[in-house]
Structure 1
Amino acid sequence: MLRQDRANFHTFGIAQRGDEWYPLFSDAKTRALMEQMVRNGTMEPAAARDIMAGGACVFVQIFQAPRGDFLRVSVSR
C-alpha cells in the first residue's frame, strides 16, 4: 500500500493533503525496496490495519544506515 501511494504521487501526480516529495521514492526501483525497508524497520500492527482501512495520516521516517536502510511507520487519525 505504501509503495503504491508513493508511485501514485511520484509517477501519476496523485497527491493527498500532507504528501511530500522525497527523492528516495521517486524511482520505481527504489520503491520496490520499500517492503524490505519496512521489514527492517518498525510498523505497529494497528498502524498496518489503519493504513489498510484508509483515511489515516501516515508518517514515514527514513533511516539510511550502514547495515541497511529501514523505515519507521506510524499513523494518526
Structure 2
Amino acid sequence: MEVVIYDSLGHQLHNGDTVILTKDLKLKGTKFILKRGFKLKKITVRDDVFCIVARTKEHGIIELKNESVKLLK
C-alpha cells in the first residue's frame, strides 16, 4: 500500500520528488537554521508524524512535517 502525503498547498508528494521549504526551520539539537526556499531533492515519503525524509550535504538526514514544504514542479 502506498502512502499518500500532501504538501502545504495540497499537491500529492511521491518518493524522489523535489520540495522547497515554505518557512525557516531550526534543526533540533543544533544551531543551524534551514532558510525558507531551501531545496530538498529526492525525498522519501513515509507514514509518520515527520513524514518527509531528505538527505543534505551540510546536515545529513533530516525529517520534516509535510506542512513546511511545497512541491517544486
- Give TM class, smaller chain: under 0.3
Q: Which has the higher contact order (CA 8 A, sep 6+)?
A: 2
TM-score (norm 2): 0.25
TM-score (norm 1): 0.24
